[in-house]
Amino acid sequence: MDRSEKHLCIKCNEGGNLLVCSENGCPLAIHEGCMGCPARFDDAGRFYCPYCLYKQAVAESRQAREYALARKKALLIFMDEEMMGSEQHLEEIKRAEADGHDLSKVSPANANVTCDDGKSRGKDETILNKSVLDLEHQSSSSEEEKIQEEESDASTSSKGQEPSLKMYEKEKVRNAEGKKIQEEEPETSATSTDRDPSLKMHENKNCNPEEEQIQEEECETSSAPSAEGPSPTVRTRTKRGFKNSDQIDGDSGTVSLQRKLVKQSGKSKLTTPTVNHPRRSSRRLSSALGSAQMLNDKVVASRSLRQPRQPLVKLANYTFSSGKRKRLLWTEEEEETLKAGVQKYSTDGNKNLPWTKILDFGQHKFDRTRTPSDLKDKWRNMMAK
């Protein structure tokens, strides 16, 4: 415990039995009783002032963010088959690794944090003026706000924090000087609970891939062509590649289905700028992350026989949805059923046809993976002929 009689208390400006901050270069000295909050000591009994602890926390937060970004970058490269293995991108991964330091190396107690903006204060420097401290606290607060603004996705859960940081977090609650931090805390905890979708993706592995595979196979068999229908080979569906439709959103970290508009062939006729529209994003997300279970819940709720038809991509232990259903041609029986359904439910010139009802009407004839929208699209095609 660093107690000194050489200094004056930063609060009452008197000498006596003072605690001196052990952080390198920090001249803060204070009576334990003047703290206004419990004094904090590390395992070795060294005292650290709330200010230094806060600075450490901010530094660690930044480092955690850098680490998260670096990991995200590596994931991005990992997910893109075209990029995988190339010299250039191996370099990128290495750079990402170097940029984001391993969190395990970060320890608030030994983090290379000084009490100022990089310059170390001399031990003999005059006692910090309280107003100076306040100013610096403000600046570091705004610094943290900036970080928080930037990081909508940094997954710095308090779980992985070092004991001394946890200790400080508890202290924040009581610490009057840490009031601002306290206000920001809900956001921080929100980031850890309302987690980055890209992390949720990893939870996808518990979606019982085997069961999904079985369902998939069931779909295949259930959609066997009728006698007059197209040959089985025609009905064969191909799986679209993961890389074709899935991308990691660089900002949100979500696995998005943003279509690659810039086709290498330049074939794409329309260059609709794909804005990150909220609705689109959410749909992309559910589609991309779309564990069969998620889809199941949605579909089964409206129609018990409906099945998801989601091509799945297995990557190590994880199962991803490739985001787009496999192409399934319509059988003649389905077309006939569709005609019959439209005829039955047709009202005013085939406007606003109740596709859901029509789907229910022919639920034993339509493939179980058909959706009302599929019926609508098919009818449109048939009418176009």
Enumerate binding residues for DNA (CB under 7 A). Answer: 233-234, 237-238, 240, 244-245, 257, 259-261, 263, 265, 267-272, 274, 277, 279-281, 283-284, 287, 302, 309, 323-330, 351-357, 372-374, 376-378, 380-381, 384-385
Nearest Cα residue to 372 out of 296, 275, 294, 306 = 306
Q: Which is nearer to DNA, 168 or 355 (CB)?
A: 355
Q: Which is nearer to DNA, 121 or 283 (CB)?
A: 283
Lookup result for tokens 């395992």: 43
Q: Which is nearer to DNA, 202 or 260 (CB)?
A: 260
> For helices 278-289 and 292-302, what crossing angle results, to 10°?
110
Q: Could you tell me the smallest distance in angstroms from the CB atom of residue 184 to DNA?
A: 32
Q: Could you tell me the smallest distance in angstroms from the CB atom of residue 245 to DNA?
A: 6
Amino acid at 360: D
Q: How many CA atoms lie within 13 A of 351 on its CB side?
A: 2
Q: Could you tell me the smallest distance in angstroms from the CB atom of residue 82 to DNA?
A: 14
Q: Could you tell me the smallest distance in angstroms from the CB atom of residue 208 to DNA?
A: 21
Q: Which is nearer to DNA, 128 or 257 (CB)?
A: 257
Dist. CA 264–CA 260, nearest whole Å: 9
Nearest Cα residue to 129 out of 141, 137, 120, 140 = 137
Q: Could you tell me the smallest distance in angstroms from the CB atom of residue 284 to DNA?
A: 5
Q: Which is nearer to DNA, 45 or 278 (CB)?
A: 278
Q: Which is nearer to DNA, 274 or 293 (CB)?
A: 274
Residue 40 makes CB contacts below 8 A (sequence gap 6+) with 47, 48, 50, 53, 164, 167, 168, 171
Q: Could you tell me the smallest distance in angstroms from the CB atom of residue 48 to DNA?
A: 49
Instruction: Give CA separation, 299 vs 214, 293, 305, 370, in Å.
Output: 17, 10, 9, 10
Sign of CA dihedral 296, 300, 302, 308: positive
Q: Could you tell me the smallest distance in angstroms from the CB atom of residue 221 to DNA?
A: 16
DSSP 89-129: HHHHHHHHHHHS--GGG--TTTS---SSSSPPPPTTSPPPP
Q: Which is nearer to DNA, 94 or 357 (CB)?
A: 357
DSSP-derived letter for residue 329 is P
Q: Which is nearer to DNA, 88 or 233 (CB)?
A: 233
Q: Could you tell me the smallest distance in angstroms from the CB atom of residue 92 to DNA?
A: 24
Report CA Rg, the chain: 30
Nearest Cα residue to 20 out of 140, 127, 135 = 127
